[in-house]
Structure 1
Amino acid sequence: MMNVNWLRSFCTLVEEGHFTRTAERLHMTQSGVSQHVRKLEEQLGTELLVRQGKQFSLSGAGERLYAEAQDVLLALSNLELAVVEDPPYEGEVRVMSPGSVGLKLYPQLLALQQRYPKLTIDYRFAPNTDVEHAIAESTVDVGFMTTKSTLADVSCTSVAEESLLLVTPATVEDADWDTLMALGFIDHPDGSHHANLLLGENYREFQHSNLFPRKGFSNQIGLILEPVSMGLGFTVLPAHAVEAFPKPELIKVHKLAHPVRETLYLCSLRHRPLQKRMETVIAEAKRWL
């Protein structure tokens, strides 16, 4: 493999046309520059310079090497910069979270990308377990979860809380137990978990969401409240998902005696340092949570 230092000395000599100026530019001795060129010639098995006293010209091989070497040295220089530099507003950041958090954060992160077009946001909506495994497998950079990870490689820090809300059709005045039983439950991927947390704290009759007639299911966070708004049932959802619903006049959020809030955790791979662009995204996310 060709020695990069020898190649750089050769190309600099061609550009300067003089051993003394080359040595000064590279902070070397003239003999060091000569030695690099000699070693390069020995390695390639051909003469690169046609020497005439203190003057020189390029051989055919020297001209070809110089033409090709410029691109190689530029690519290596760019590679070095890409590795060393860590710009805060450039590059891709992969984020994953449950849907409710995503409804809150994704528009704000897109606005961040508008301000810094070289920043790319890759946002995926997924349940907690998928977020956890994606972080552990390094397929995402930053994750938000509503439960703390059980995996040793995933680091979680509490960053916010989000209320769980009981939502019925707008026509429901009093969400007592009999009313909920008559309405039936609109389920979703976290429906049972959310119902257990909120309804278990507020209704002595509650044991499990399976007690309610199941009136529908949706795994699309933006559509879970559609059947509720049409009078087809009730559900329990995090506040961000309720706030994002475009027809608030068709639903009603009921204030319960014992409010319940979920903790939101910021999660990342434990032993992987966060790059500055990831820190930029995290700071913006925290601002809106």
Structure 2
Amino acid sequence: MINPVFLRTFCTLVETKHFTKTAEQLFITQSAVSQHLRKLENLLDEPLIQKTEKGFVLTPTGEQTYQEAKKVVASLQAFKEKVTTDSEHVGVVKVMSPGSIGLRLYPQLLALQTQFPELIIHYQFAPNNSIVKALQQGDIDIGLVTEHANSSLMNFEEVAQEPLQLVLPSPIENLSLESLRQLGFINHPDGHHHANQLLKANFAEFTHIKDIKENGFSNQIGLILTPVSIGLGFTVLPQSAVASFAEPEKIHIHELTKPSMEPIYLVMQNKKHTAKRLLFVHNKIKTLLKN
């Protein structure tokens, strides 16, 4: 295999037409220039230059070698620039969040991609535990979760809070835990987490959502409230998920005595070096959620 360093030296020699100038331009010694030329000639088993009183001229093989070597050197330079250039606005960024956050965030990140077409956004909806696992395995770059996990490998930053809402099929006067038991629970990927948080704060006798019968489950954020709207049960969701439901007139948001705010954490792996595009999207997400 031909060493690309020899090709670069040869091309520079042809272009400068001088051994000393070649050495100065490449920051090597003149003897190294001669050595690179000799090794290249030995590999090709052909002379590449013919010395004259004024310097040298290329042999036919030397001329052909120069034409091909130029392409190789240019290609290697382009390769180096491509892999070492770290741009804020170029490359793929993989983001994962619960659906309620994604409903707010994904359209705004698409607007960002429209502004910077070479910044490619991959967005997935998933529950908290799946997001943390994906981050640990390096399958995604940025995660948004509502539960803090103890891990020295990841950095959790609280960037916002969102109210949780108790959603019923219709208003209930003097709502009690027994009323909710009779209704039944409509579960979703983060349903237990949300329900436990909100109901514990408001019902002294509440222990765990598992004690209330489950009347349905959906992992599609836009469909979780559909069984609620037809009277099959109640659920607990973040405010943004409730606000996105297509038929709000068919559900009732019950105001509890003690509001419950759900934290939103922005999570990335702890690394010494983080690509600029990841930091750019990370900071953009932080700004969008804080606003």
Normalised TM-score (structure 1): 0.88
Q: In the alignment, does 2:251 pair up with 1:251?
A: yes
1:143 maps to 143
Question: Does structure 1 residue 193 correspond to structure 2 residue 211?
Answer: no
The alignment of Structure 1 onto Structure 2 pairs a total of residues equal to 288
Hey, what's the Cα distance between the residues in 1 that align with 2:272 and 2:252? 44
- Tell me if structure 2 keeps the 8 A contact 1:131–1:143: yes
Please give the root-mean-square deviation of Cα atoms over the aligned residues, in Å: 2.4
Bigger drift between 65-74 and 156-165 goes to 65-74
Letter in 2 for 1:271: K
Partner-residue secondary structure (3-state), 1:253: strand
Match of 2:8 in 1: 8
Q: Distance in 1 between matches of 2:158 and 2:248?
A: 30
Shift of 1:6: 2.6
- Distance (Å, rounded) in 2 between the aligned partners of 1:192 and 1:33: 72
Q: Which residue of 2 aligns with 1:109?
A: 109
Task: Note the alpha carbon deviations across 1:172-226, whole angstroms, 9 max, x for none.
Answer: 2547124323322111122122111101111233222233332211011221112
Q: Which residue of 1 aligns with 2:129?
A: 129
Answer yes or no: is the 8 Å Cα contact 1:149–1:155 preserved in 2. Answer: no
Paired residues of 2:144 and 2:265 also in contact (CA < 8 A): yes
Q: Determine if the alignment matches structure 1 residue 94 to structure 2 residue 94.
A: yes
- Cα separation, partners in 2 of 1:81 and 1:199, compared to 1, 3 Å: same
SS at 2:222's partner residue?
Answer: helix
Query: Which letter does structure 2 place at the counterpart of 1:83?
Result: V
User: What's the offset of the Cα at 1:18?
Assistant: 5.0
1:125 Cα deviation from its structure 2 partner: 1.4
Match of 1:242 in 2: 242
Separation in structure 1 between the aligned mates of residue 129 and residue 9 of structure 2, nearest angstrom? 54
Please list every run of 5 or more consecutive structure 2 residues that lacks an aligned counterpart in the other structure.
Answer: none
Residues 1:172 and 2:168 are matched in the alignment: no
The runs of at least 4 consecutive aligned structure 1 residues that moved more than 6 Å come to none
Q: Which deviates more from structure 2 when the two are superposed, residues 249-258 or residues 218-227?
A: 249-258
User: Taking structure 1 as reference, are residues 193 and 175 closer, same or farther at Cα in structure 2, changes over 3 Å only?
Assistant: farther
Distance 1:228 1:94 in 2: 33
Q: Is the 8 A contact 2:48 2:61 kept in 1?
A: yes
- 1:58 aligned partner, one-letter code: L
> How far apart, CA to CA, are the structure 1 residues paired with 2:251 and 2:89?
40
User: Retained in 2: the 8 A contact 1:132–1:154?
Assistant: no
Q: Map 1:78-93 onto structure 2 (within 5 A).
A: 78-93=78-93
Find the residue that maps to 1:167 and give its secondary structure: strand
Distance 1:210 1:139, change over 3 A: closer
SS in 2 for 1:280: helix
Aligned to 2:163: 163
The 3 A distance-change label for structure 1 pair 174 and 283 is: farther
The residue identity in structure 1 corresponding to 2:175 is: D
User: Between the two proteins, what is the percent identity of the paired residues?
Assistant: 48
Question: Where do 5+ consecutive residues of structure 1 fail to align?
Answer: none
Say if 2:196 and 2:208, in contact at 8 Å, map to a contact too: yes
